[in-house]
Amino acid sequence: MAINHLDTSTIIIENIIVHSIPRHKKGDFSIEPEYSEQESSLPDGLRVFFKDKVIQSLQSNKELRVCYDVESVSPVSTYINQIISSNGADFVEQSKLMTKYLFEIQDGQNASGILVVIFGKINNQNACIIIKLERDEGAQLELDPKTKSFNIKDVKDLMLTRKTKIYKVGLFVDKSVFKIKYDGSTADLQIDPKTKKEVTTWFIEKFLGCVPLADPRTTTKKFYDFTTTYIQSIEDPIKKAKYTQDLNSYLQKNSHRISAKEFADDYMETSDKDLYNRYLKEKNFRMSEFPKDNSFINNKIKTITMIFANDIAIVGKKGTFEKNVKLEEQNDGTTKAEIVSKVKSVR
């Protein structure tokens, strides 16, 4: 039976581990993270405490659904998926790799931190939860000399005395099991995604390597609008007409996923492709693929209209313009359009 949503009330915490990240200058590797070498013991009271904190964060207005960004250099998604797919067998090592990466990308502006990694269940399916906390400079965590690990109870005590608090939470699953379009839910308690048109957060994008889940209708429309604007900036009217036809055809292909890169590679000349790539980067629009949904642009991509300076217009439907209209650039800068066909109607 397919599961199509994440019910945070069903979260079960099975394993938990704590690592400490000292404040350091970027590139200063004379300081290193302090790793726990084994999981922390977890009495029922602590399970409930951390489950409640995760639920509170993910049910707040800060919650944001995210997908792994295929263009990201962050390896964290690999570590998360290894924990989930191995049923937690590689939990300790993968959590240490996450901590190492977080330490490496932080700079002197980041406060001392604590990374809590959890393996557990949601809707009775494997899940990985990451909690990043910032702590006061005077707040200390002590490694147990016997276990060479931090005790999660000490983290709770720091939170209760307000010497540290949850700033960022991420919960991840295998989306194919849940039949959902996103990889996880996050909450960065230092931002409010509901009031922002574009959400940019260091934790989500640089560390986790994720991007916010976007409505395919909106993303497809943005692709169409940005690409159309770029095409309109091209001076050559014949090339402009060709690219417009190509864009309309590309969007009407029998494909569930599209990308700006594929469109540029398949239809554009090299010089135009490079400028197009640069233009989309300026607009913060990705070149990688995304789900296609033409709902917002269906009426725009079914026809192409060419209007001449003498107020003559040619309107063609999909595939008919290129086949039936011959365009030829003249020496004086004008364009000759030739149509050979029977007149169907005049109105």
The pLDDT of residue 21 is above 50? yes
Q: Please tell me the distance from the alpha carbon of residue 67 to that of residue 87, in angstroms, as a whole number.
A: 21
pLDDT band at 210 (very low <50, low <70, confident <90, very high): very high
Which of helix, strand or coil describes residue 23? coil
Q: Coil, strand or helix: which one is 318?
A: coil
* pLDDT score of 196: 46
Please report the pLDDT score of residue 124 as a whole number: 94
Calculate mean pLDDT across residues 81-91.
96
- Does the structure show a pLDDT above 60 at 203? yes
β-strand partners of 166: 133
57 vs 193: CA distance, rounded Å = 13
pLDDT of residue 305: 67
Q: What is the pLDDT of residue 319?
A: 59
Q: Write the pLDDT tens digit of every residue in 216-248.
A: 888 999 999 999 999 999 998 888 888 988 898
Q: What ranges do the domains of the chain cover?
A: 8-212, 216-339
What's the confidence (pLDDT) of residue 199?
47
pLDDT at residue 326 above 90? no
Task: Tell me what pLDDT residue 242 has.
Answer: 84
* Residue-level pLDDT at 197: 41
Q: What is the mean pLDDT of residues 160-177?
A: 85
Q: Please state the three-class secondary structure of the chain as a single string.
A: CCCCCCCHHHCEEEEEEEEEECCCCCCCCCCCCECCCCCCCCCHHHHHHHHHHHHHHHCCCCEEEEEECCCCCCCHHHHHHHHHHCCCCCHHHHHHHHHHHHHHHCCCCCCCEEEEEEEEEECCEEEEEEEEEEECCCCCCCCECCCCECCHHHHHHHHHCCCEEEEEEEEECCHHHHCCCCCEEEEECCCCHHHCCCCCCHHHHHHCCEEECCCHHHHHHHHHHHHHHHHHCCCCHHHHHHHHHHHHHHHCCCCCEECHHHHHHHHCCHHHHHHHHHHHHHCCCCCCCEECCCCCCHHHHCEEEEECCCCCEEEEECCHHHHHEEEEECCCCCEEEEECCCCCCCC
Instruction: Over range 249-260, report the average pLDDT.
Output: 89
Residue 98 parent element (H or E) = helix 91-105
Question: What mean pLDDT comes out for the span 170-184?
Answer: 94
Residue 265 DSSP symbol: H
Edge-first strand order for the sheet with 125-135 is 12-21, 113-122, 125-135, 164-172, 184-188, 63-68, 210-212
C-alpha–C-alpha distance, residues 139 and 113, integer Å = 10
Q: What pLDDT, on a 0 to 100 scale, did the predictor assign at position 192? A: 54
195 pLDDT more than 90: no
Which of 84, 88, 64 is CA-nearest to residue 127?
A: 84
Confirm if 97 and 75 have CB atoms less than 8 A apart: yes
Q: Which of 10-19, 174-183, 241-250 has the lowest mean pLDDT?
A: 241-250
Q: Phi and psi (nearest 5°) for 75?
A: -90, 5
pLDDT for 4: 64
Mean pLDDT score, 294-319: 73
pLDDT for 314 equals 66
For 107-156, how does the pLDDT look when each residue is reduced to its tens digit (9 = 90+)? 766 667 899 999 999 999 999 999 998 877 666 788 888 889 999 998 88
- 8-state DSSP, 326: E
Give me the chain's average pLDDT, please.
84
Q: Does position 12 have pLDDT exceeding 70, yes or no? A: yes
Residue-wise DSSP of 55-76: HHHHTSTTEEEEEE-TT----H
